[in-house]
Amino acid sequence: MNDSSLHPHDRLLLPQEKLKSPIWTMGISGIVLLLISFMGFGVNRSEFYHAWLFSFLFYFGLCAGSFFWVLLHYVTNAGWDTLLRRQVENVASLFPLVSLFSLPIFFDIFSSHLLYEWTRPEIQKLKDYLEKSLYLNVPFFCLRAFIYFCFFGFVSWFFRKLSCVQDEDANPYHSLRLKRLAYPIAVIFGFLFTFFAIDWVMSLDYRWSSTVWAFYLFAGSAGASLSFWILILIMLRQRGYLQQLNEEHYHLLGKLLFAFTALWAYLAFSQYMLIWYGNIPEETYFFIRRNYDGWYYVSLLLVGGRFALPFLFLLPQSTKKNKNFLGFVALWVLFMQAVELYWIVMPMELSRNFAVGWIEMIILIGMGLVFLAGYLKKATEAYLYPIHDPRLQESIEVYN
């Protein structure tokens, strides 16, 4: 069976030549904005590095969450999302690009010591640091970062590679091979993401700790990447691609977004409640810092905007099946993910009243343009869906 007989009305590929110019335009524009952002290095180094970390974490989370959805497809032997899977494969394969975004952070770790206070020589003499120094030290931090980036970059590339090879040779063994590999890789993925969350985010305040921190960050990343996935699918469908995509797919995606909204709220509340109940000074300081001045209103916004609004809007079945409404909620969740990461990272520098400066905006937009250019480049290099996956027909005919 050839491709055209299976999907006679589908456009299988994005126009590579037509998109070549927009890809270069976005990529170069993003790089220019990032170069302009270095002017902020001379204005306020601390704000610059914190803003850079915030943006890096946002796009790293999109890649990590996307790869989670790829793994979940194989681990659960899902068939309904086969038609949709290629887009999260494309996003997840951007790990090497996003890893490059981390380079200025390493410069700070080795020189300025403005992000992670445990890298400062005067802090390294304190008793509370020495108790954690076996783990929190610069050489070991860099080694772990190297492992994270190499692992995530390789496995995301490998899964997409085999999926694309199957498009050419139509060998069903590739699906079986990826399914077998997904189980151990999912375990390793969870293990490494946990330590990434500790290293790159929780250690911003090395005195503070939370036992659910990695799960909390993961829930946010999974929800944000799912939202990004939904937006990509809607835009492709509106432009005449993925014609087999229907309201049943939207309904299932909406269910997942609803579930991960609830999961995020459960973990966020659990973390807050346990720290509040324990009332240990070095733990409560995390929330005290974020409950004064303007940051207090951002905290309230997270409660209402990150949980209550998406939860209520996605309760009815009709809203989950409506692509326009689902797209609006997905865009809102993606925005709230950026707000949440800003709320996590920036109070470490902006201890004064809440503010959003030009440095933060330029870095976020600059990285975003480079990120989108990378995604479009990947999207034009392969079919928009795995045309020879054994479960493709099941995905097309899905009903729930």
Q: Which pLDDT belongs to residue 352?
A: 61
Per-position DSSP letters for 129-183, written without gaps between them: HHTTTTTSSHHHHHHHHHHHHHHHHHHHHHHHHHHHHHHHH--THHHHHHHHHHH
Instruction: Read off the tokens for 19.
Output: 């998109």
pLDDT at residue number 289: 86
Report the predicted TM-score, pTM, of the whole model to 2 decimal places.
0.94
pLDDT tens profile 108-154: 999 989 999 999 999 989 988 999 999 999 999 999 999 999 999 99
**Mean of the per-residue pLDDT values for the chain?**
93
Q: Mean per-residue pLDDT for 237-264?
A: 95
Over range 12-25, report the average pLDDT.
Answer: 93
pLDDT of residue 137: 94
The three-state DSSP-derived secondary structure of the chain is CCHHHHCCCCCCCCCHHHHHHHHHHHHHHHHHHHHHHCHHHHHCHHHHHHHHHHHHHHHHHHHHHHHHHHHHHHHCCCCCCCCCHHHHHHHHCCHHHHHHCCHHHHHHHHHHCCCCHHHCCCHHHCHHHHCCCCCCCHHHHHHHHHHHHHHHHHHHHHHHHHHHHHHHHCCCHHHHHHHHHHHHHHHHHHHHHHHHHHHHCHHHHCCCCCCCHHHHHHHHHHHHHHHHHHHHHHHHHHCCCCCCCCHHHHHHHHHHHHHHHHHHHHHHHHHHHHHHHHCCHHHHHHHHHCCCCHHHHHHHHHHHHHHHHHHHHCCCHHHHHCHHHHHHHHHHHHHHHHHHHHHHHHHHCCCCCCCCCHHHHHHHHHHHHHHHHHHHHHHHCCCCCCCCCCCHHHHHCCCC
Task: Answer yes or no: are the C-beta atoms of 256 and 400 closer than 8 Å.
Answer: no
* Percentage of the chain modeled with pLDDT above 70: 97
Q: What is residue 351's predicted lDDT score, i.e. its pLDDT?
A: 59
- What is the per-residue pLDDT for 399? 87
Render pLDDT for 142-173 as a digit per residue (tens, 0 to 9): 999 999 999 999 999 999 999 999 999 999 99
Chain CA centroid to CA 127, Å: 35
**In this model, does residue 4 exceed pLDDT 50?**
no
The pLDDT of residue 78 is above 60: yes
**How confident is the model at residue 9, as a pLDDT?**
42
Confidence grade of residue 281 (pLDDT, cut at 50, 70, 90): confident
* CB-based contact 194:238 (threshold 8 Å): no
Q: What's residue 5's pLDDT?
A: 42
pLDDT tens by residue, 42-70 = 888 989 999 999 999 999 999 999 999 99
Pairwise CA distance, residues 342 & 224, whole Å: 14
**pLDDT for residue 353 is more than 80:** no
Q: For residues 266 and 399, give the distance between their C-alpha atoms in angstroms, rounded to a whole number.
A: 29
Compute the half-sphere exposure of residue 46: CA atoms within 13 Å on the CB side of its CA.
11
